[in-house]
Every structure is written in structure tokens, then in C-alpha cells.
Chains A and B, each alone.
Chain A
Amino acid sequence: GQSLEQPSEVTAVEGAIVQINCTYQTSGFYGLSWYQQHDGGAPTFLSYNALDGLEETGRFSSFLSRSDSYGYLLLQELQMKDSASYFCAVRDLPGNQFYFGTGTSLTVIP
């Protein structure tokens, strides 16, 4: 089976930095992706790690440690529009399918 755990809710102040953690137990693993989803909207891709280490994309960074089955998404210079749900997702084969985590609801406050 597939199990990906994330904190259910996080609150942070505008302009601050927030880290959203993801721990996973999956039968296969080829990488970890992060998606953002606003209420009523579709998931949109943020970042992907296939190898250990940090990937940086603008205000968003993602980290992976395969030996610890752990990753995190780092959001810097938080803006009100960053209020959304964030999902980690493990990539697996043969279908290049993704198994999503439980999701973290981020609320950015002034």
C-alpha cells in the first residue's frame, strides 16, 4: 500500500517562511512531487525531486531524503495568495502514476 503523511493544517504570517513536511511509505518510489490546490481548483505542479537534496524554483523549494523517506516544501516570502492546500505525491512505475499525500491546508494571515 501507499501511505503519505502531512500535517493537516499550518498557519503562517505574510512575508514569513513556512515548511510543509511529508513522510512516505510506498511500495515503489521514483520521485516526490509537490502540488498546490486552491479551493475548487485543480492541483497545479510546484516542484519535483528525483534525487536527494534541495530543488529551488523561485519562492518555492523542495527537499528530499530518500534514506529517511522524507521530504518538505519550503515557501518563502509568503503572500496571501499562497493560502491553499499543498499535496506531496510519490511517483511510481510502471504507469508513471502518482500517489498523493493527505494534504496540508496553509492559511496565510496578515
Chain B
Amino acid sequence: EPEVTQTPSHQVTQMGQEVILRCVPISNHLYFYWYRQILGQKVEFLVSFYNNEISEKSEIFDDQFSVERPDGSNFTLKIRSTKLEDSAMYFCASSEGTGEQFFGPGTRLTVL
């Protein structure tokens, strides 16, 4: 069964450093997403990506964040200058544009 994959599973970084989180969505899906979840809290929408461009982003997705689909399979989230409050689980998801999204296992980002 196809699945969304994410790497790394855990990333530790120093405050102010750049990180890139990687995702491989399900191959025939058209919409790609990044969400984050701070420990014990709800899942928060960051950005959706369709037809090689951002289709929607939340207030959280400010200038320090960027997304890219560098080739036909990978989908990345870059955080330019990490802050302590960026520590969270970051989930990638993909969908065919229906009410069902498929989530990856997540990357736990720890900013020290």
C-alpha cells in the first residue's frame, strides 16, 4: 500500500540554524501539505502546495519558512533560522484533493 515517507525521523538543531525536512508524497497525489504539532496540542496547518506552487498558507508560515518540490518525488520544508518555539512534530501529508489526507510518520524537530 502506498504511503507518505519523511526523513529524518528526528532532527536536533541549534537556534538560528537552517533545517530542511524532507517528504516523499504518494506518487499519484496532487496536493501536498505541511502541518506541525507541538507536543500535546492540536495539528496546525502550515501550507498546501498544488501544481508546483503554494495554494494556501497559514499565519504560522511566515518568511522563515519555504517549501519546494525539487524533483518529481520529493517535497521539502525549509526553516531558515530556527527558533526555540519551532520545536514540534512536523507532518507531511498528501491527497488527491478529496476529504482524505494521508499523513507521513512525522519529523520531530528539537531546537536547542
- B71-112 interface mask toward A, CB cutoff 8 Å, 1 = contact, 0 = none? 000000000000000000001000101111111111000000
Residue of A nearest to B50 (CB): A95
Given contact pairs A31-B99, A95-B57, a sample of 5 additional A-B residue pairs in the complex whose CB atoms are under 8 Å apart: A33-B100, A48-B98, A94-B56, A97-B48, A97-B55
Count, chain B residues at interface, CB 8 A: 28
- CB-defined contacts of A91 to chain B, threshold 8 Å: 99
25 example contacts (A-B, Cβ-Cβ < 8 A) are as follows A33-B101, A35-B43, A43-B43, A45-B101, A48-B99, A48-B100, A49-B99, A50-B99, A87-B43, A89-B43, A92-B56, A94-B56, A95-B47, A95-B48, A95-B56, A96-B31, A96-B48, A97-B33, A97-B56, A98-B101, A100-B35, A100-B44, A100-B45, A101-B42, A103-B42
Q: Is the CB of A44 within 8 A of B45?
A: no
Q: Is the CB of A45 within 8 A of B102?
A: yes
- Tell me the dominant secondary structure on chain A's binding face: strand
- CB-defined contacts of A98 to chain B, threshold 8 Å: 33, 45, 101
Residue of A nearest to B104 (CB): A42
Task: Give, as a whole number of angstroms, the nearest-CB distance from A100 to chain B.
Answer: 4
In Å, the complex CA distance between A43 and B56 comes to 21
| Contact surface of B with A, Cβ cutoff 8 Å | 31, 33, 35, 41-45, 47-50, 54-57, 91, 95, 97-106
Q: Is the CB of B42 within 8 A of A96?
A: no
Size category of the binding interface on chain A:
20 to 34
State whether the Cβ of A99 lies closer than 8 Å to any Cβ in chain B.
yes
Task: Give, as a whole number of angstroms, the nearest-CB distance from B110 to chain A.
Answer: 15
In Å, the complex CA distance between A99 and B56 comes to 12
Q: Is the CB of B105 within 8 A of A42?
A: yes
Q: Is the CB of B55 within 8 A of A42?
A: no
Residue of A nearest to B56 (CB): A95
- CB-defined contacts of B103 to chain A, threshold 8 Å: 42-44
In Å, the complex CA distance between A44 and B105 comes to 10
Residue of B nearest to A103 (CB): B42
